[in-house]
Every structure is written in C-alpha cells, then in structure tokens.
Structure 1
Amino acid sequence: MDAGRLDRRIDLKTPAVAENSFGKNGAVSYSFLAQSVPAFVKVTGGGEVDIANKRQAETYLEIVIRYRSDINAKMLVVYEGSEYGIDQVNEDYGHFRKSFTQIIARRRA
C-alpha cells in the first residue's frame, strides 16, 4: 500500500477511567489521542446480531494508517461521526517493516 491511498480521516480516542468515591473504577470517558489521522478505510462486512433479545446492526471496518505503536483494543475509532470499537490491531501490516498499522473495528448500532 502506498501513502496516496490514505484518503480518509479518522480520530483515535483513548479511555480514561475515573475512580469513584470508594476508590473503585467508575465511569469510563474517552479523550482524543489523535485527530484527523490519514487512513484507508474499507467496509468489510456487517449484518444483524441478537444481543439481549434485541436485533442490532453491526458494521466492520478495515482501517490502514501509517505505523503507530500506541494503539490498542481498548480504544475507539471515530469515522464519519460514528464510534467504532477496535477488535484487532496488526502493527506489522503487510510485512512492510512497520510502515503501516491495520485496525479491524466494529460498530454496533
């Protein structure tokens, strides 16, 4: 893959867990790690699943960005106004000596 194909923009969010008054993990909020990151984005699938007796739509994305070592599965990707949970991160995508990072992400609506 060449850098010219990175023609979309994504944002990366990282979680921050706040402690409640009892010293336990409380609410999780997300803050931006990086904004407007150049990316190649391809919808790879989708469908409907049953969760808690409700049908929900799922959309899967394959995202390729320039190499970053600070991405993990606890983070979120924002693409076209929707948040996607990261399922998988491949840091050595395509065996290009860490030139690109591949992210497989899923959105449930």
Structure 2
Amino acid sequence: MAVVSLSSYDGSAGTLVDTNVWADCIDEASPWHEWAIEQLQLCSERSPLHVNIVVFTELLVPGPSVRDLDAMLDVYETSRTPLPWACASLAAAAFALYRRRGGARHRPAATSG
C-alpha cells in the first residue's frame, strides 16, 4: 500500500471531524463549545463534513442516544463515511509527530481503565 500524503489536499472532498470537536459541541459547559460550533458551521459551508465509525462510536460512550447523535450530525449534513485503510498511515504519521512534539505517551484510540 502506498503512503498517502495530505500535502496537496485542498479540502474539497470534505473534512473528517474529530470526536473532540463533536464532544465540545455536545458539552455546553466546555470552554471550546462556541469555537467548535463555529468551526463546524464554517467547514460545513465550504465542503461536506464526515464522521467514521470510530468517531461515531466514541461519541456514543457515554454520550447521546443513536437517534440524538444522528440528529446532531444531520444539522450539518454530516456524511457517515467508511474508514479507508490508507488512513492508517496518515494517523500513524500524525501520532508520531504529536509524540515528537511532546504529546502524552499513550496509544491512539487507547482507553483508560
């Protein structure tokens, strides 16, 4: 499999929205609540928003019901998009950069407990 690069990506295919952005939209007490809503609105006006099964699942624990989550995603006409295998190399590169810059030493998508 070829390594995928985002260096020339223009955003026209859309934006995969991270769990944390949606979580801040849900949590009205979050200091990032207004910012997250503004960013979703801006991005949704430029190109489609996407979530994948990982983001959707993370938002359900311990978040809203499936029906309520679907309703929130539908406000921004968010596509439920399959997660391509090529994303793994991008995620690994992003995590490696995060670690080199001093990020916490836990695995991506790891759960505590």
State the TM-score, normalized to the length of structure 2.
0.22
Higher strand share: 1
Please report the TM-score for the alignment, with normalisation by the length of structure 1: 0.22
Relative contact order (C-alpha < 8 Å, sep 6+): which is higher?
2
Whose helix proportion is higher, 1 or 2? Answer: 2
